[in-house]
């Protein structure tokens, strides 16, 4: 614990960065206080206490999975060989910028969190993975490491690594595979949850924001962390807002804030009708969900969850069917190309959605799409095709009227409207290694 008064506002992860400046090591220590890691003799006791505190804090993974962190670490700790601790700053999701923001403005929180994780898991070393095509984040973390070195604070071996910037490369088994010297493609794991192996050591992979949260919990305790959330929700979270908004960007918000107010932070261009939550493998939600608390439990009744903190707000100016088709095509092009149902199923799905979006009257197209969704789901090695299936199913629910109209060949009033999605060039010919 630190004797520095903890920040009370919801500016916790992003404390000190509101003028848009990067916190160097001195500024980081001035803002957050020093992280005190246990002496060798107290490590064992500290681990037990810390895991309890993380469980009490209710921290869940911020990389999209939302799995309770304490439980995940518990299984990582009970091994015989010392693991390799990996911090995932890959952020392949195009509509997500939060991990990059953390890396660029508060890199020392990530690195502190890495130290907490490494101490917890008795890791032999730390690897921080940043996508090769994210030079800003790479540079900031590189600088942060040299700042720590100059201050003689190097309790662990930290390697900054740069896997290829492909969408699936950030998936944890793909990251582990790449760290093992192979291509950054997901691997088949017969039993889930299964342990990852990197260079014959167990691998524990955690998201950058999760690590940053741990850096704060280690300083201020679980009650302080929980207090950042509204109601039953625990802590704050980073959300990347985009879509029909004037000021897209990354915002730190208390979990449990009604979705409408979270979106309001980015100054919507007009009345918001719905949003895409989680990422391109996430879910669409309609007007009813706008009053739901932005949290796992708050969004669950709407079949949704915060996921990787992506919120793309829609005011209805673009066509929901067309946006769904665009995402499906983009995701199809990002396939690792390993599993038949994904390699063939996703492009087929995308083609059918495009037909529908273009208003071409093809009889039975909706049934074909639905049967493809059924056939593709769960038959790949990773969750990439499952995410697309989830997305399209939610689109069918939220844009039900639009899908119906398109299927009947009714001319869409929003035909040709520009997309609100960030759809960068697909990875295409980028190498996998």
Partner 1 sequence: MIGLTSPILWYTARASGIVTLLLFTLVMAMGIMTATRVGGAPLPRFAVAELHRRLSLIAVIFLALHIAASVIDTYVHISVVAIFVPFASAYKPLWVALGTISLDLILAITLTSLFRQRINHEAWRAIHWLSYLAWPIALIHSIFIGTDVRFGWMDLFVAGCVAIVVASAIWRIWANPHPDGALTAVPDRTTPKTARSAKRAPRVPQQRAAQTSTPIASSSRPKRPPQ
Partner 2 sequence: MEVRLRVDPVACDGFGHCAELAPELISLDEWGYPIILGESIPKQFRGVAEMAVNQCPRKALFLERVATPTTTPATR
| Residue 420 interacts with which of partner 2, partner 1, none, CB < 5 to 8 Å by class | partner 1
187 binds, among partner 1, partner 2, none (CB under 5 to 8 A by kind): partner 2
Q: Kindly report the backbone phi and psi dihedral angles of residue 42, in degrees, each rounded to the nearest multiple of 5, phi listed first.
A: -95, 0
Within 10 angstroms of residue 371's Cβ, the number of other Cβ atoms is: 11
> 112: which residues sit within 8 A by CB, 6+ positions away?
32, 35, 211, 212, 215, 218
168 touches 186 (CB < 8 A): yes
The piece of 47-55, 124-132, 173-181, 254-262 that touches partner 1 (CB under 8 A) is 254-262
User: From the list 345, 384, 390, 407, which residue makes contact with partner 2 (rule: CB under 8 A)?
Assistant: 345
Among 300, 379, 410, 415, indicate the residue that binds partner 2 (CB under 8 A): 379
Q: What is the x/- site pattern for partner 1, positions 17-56, by CB under 8 A?
A: xx-x------------------------------------
The least CB distance from residue 202 to partner 2, in Å, is 22
Ranges within 381-420 binding partner 2 (CB under 8 A): 381
How far does CA 117 lie from the centroid of its chain? 18
Cβ-contact 313, 268 below 8 angstroms:
yes
CA distance 24 to 110: 12
Instruction: Name the segment binding partner 2 (CB under 8 A); options: 56-64, 77-85, 372-380, 415-423.
Output: 372-380
Residue 418 touches partner 1, criterion: CB under 8 A: yes
Residue 134 · residue 104 · CB < 8 Å: no
Interactions with partner 2, residue window 282-341 (CB under 8 A): 338-341
**CB 200 to partner 2: min, Å:** 21
CA-to-CA separations, 47 to 62, 82, 112, 196, 417, in angstroms, rounded:
21, 15, 16, 22, 54
Q: Which of 112, 147, 172, 252 binds partner 1 (CB under 8 A)?
A: 252
Quote the least distance from Cβ 196 to partner 1, whole Å.
21
In 237-256, which positions are buried (b, 16+ CB within 10 angstroms) versus exposed (e)?
Answer: bbbbbbbbbeebebbbbbbb
Q: Residue 380, interface with partner 2 (CB under 8 A)?
A: yes
Nearer to partner 2, 146 or 371 (CB): 371
Partners of 243 in the beta sheet?
A: 313
Per CB under 8 A, does 344 bind partner 2? Answer: yes
Residues 6+ apart with CB under 8 A from 205: 86, 87, 88, 172, 175, 176, 196
Report, in Å, the least distance between residue 332 CB and partner 2: 14
- Residue number with CB closer to partner 2 (92 or 345): 345
Identify what 345 binds: partner 1, partner 2, none; CB under 5 to 8 Å per kind: partner 2
- In the structure encoding, which two tokens stand for residue 230, read together? 């509204």
What residue spans of 34-105 are helical by DSSP H? Answer: 43-57, 69-77, 98-105
Q: From edge to edge, which strands make up the β-sheet containing 201-207? A: 158-161, 125-130, 84-89, 201-207, 196-198
Tokens linked to 227: 């207090």
Binding residues for partner 2, rule CB under 8 A, total 14
Q: Mark residues 137-166: x for contact with partner 1 by CB under 8 A, - for none.
A: ------------------------------
DSSP state of 418: P
- Stretch in the footprint of partner 1 (CB under 8 A) among 207-215, 218-226, 324-332, 379-387: 324-332
By the criterion CB under 8 A, which residues form the site for partner 2? 187-188, 190, 338-342, 344-345, 375, 379-381
By the criterion CB under 8 A, which residues form the site for partner 1? 9-11, 14, 17-18, 20, 95, 97, 100-101, 104-105, 240, 242-244, 247-254, 257, 261, 264-265, 322, 326, 329-330, 332-338, 340, 343-344, 347, 350, 418-423, 425-426, 428
């Amino acid at each position: 614990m630190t004797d520095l008064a903890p920040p009370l506002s919801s500016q916790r992860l992003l404390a000190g960065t509101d003028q848009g400046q990067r916190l160097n090591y001195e500024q980081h220590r001035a803002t957050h206080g020093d992280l005190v890691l246990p002496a060798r003799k107290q490590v064992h006791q500290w681990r037990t206490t810390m895991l309890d505190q993380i469980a009490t804090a209710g921290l869940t993974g911020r990389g999209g999975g939302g799995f309770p962190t304490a439980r995940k670490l518990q299984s990582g700790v009970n091994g015989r060989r010392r693991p390799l601790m990996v911090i995932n700053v890959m952020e392949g999701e195009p509509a997500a910028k939060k991990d990059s923001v953390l890396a660029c403005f508060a890199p020392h929180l990530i690195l502190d969190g890495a130290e907490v994780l490494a101490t917890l898991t008795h890791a032999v070393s730390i690897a921080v993975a940043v996508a090769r095509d994210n030079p800003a984040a790479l540079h900031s973390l590189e600088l942060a490491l040299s700042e720590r070195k100059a201050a003689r604070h190097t309790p662990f071996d930290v390697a900054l690594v740069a896997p290829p910037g492909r969408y699936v490369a950030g998936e944890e088994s793909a990251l582990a595979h790449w760290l093992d010297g192979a291509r950054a493609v997901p691997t088949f794991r017969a039993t889930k949850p299964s342990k990852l192996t990197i260079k014959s050591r167990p691998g524990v992979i955690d998201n950058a924001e999760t690590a940053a949260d741990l850096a704060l919990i280690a300083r201020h305790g679980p009650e302080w962390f929980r207090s950042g959330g509204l109601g039953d929700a625990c802590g704050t979270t980073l959300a990347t807002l985009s879509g029909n908004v004037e000021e897209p960007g990354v915002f730190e918000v208390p979990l449990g804030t009604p979705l409408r107010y979270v979106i309001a932070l980015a100054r919507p261009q007009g009345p918001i009708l719905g949003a895409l939550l989680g990422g391109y493998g996430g879910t669409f939600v309609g007007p009813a969900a706008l009053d739901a608390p932005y949290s796992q439990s708050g969004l669950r009744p709407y079949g949704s969850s915060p996921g990787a903190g992506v919120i793309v707000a829609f005011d209805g100016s673009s066509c929901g069917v067309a946006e769904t088709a665009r995402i499906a095509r983009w995701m199809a092009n990002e396939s690792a190309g390993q599993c038949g149902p994904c390699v063939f199923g996703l492009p087929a799905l995308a083609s059918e959605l495009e037909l529908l979006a273009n208003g071409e009257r093809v009889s039975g197209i909706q049934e074909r799409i639905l049967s493809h969704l059924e056939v593709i789901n769960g038959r790949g090695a990773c969750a990439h095709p499952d995410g697309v299936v989830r997305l399209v199913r939610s689109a069918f629910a939220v844009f039900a009227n639009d899908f119906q109209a398109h299927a009947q060949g009714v001319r869409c009033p929003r035909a040709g409207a520009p997309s609100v999605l960030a759809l960068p060039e697909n990875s295409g010919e980028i190498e996998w290694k």
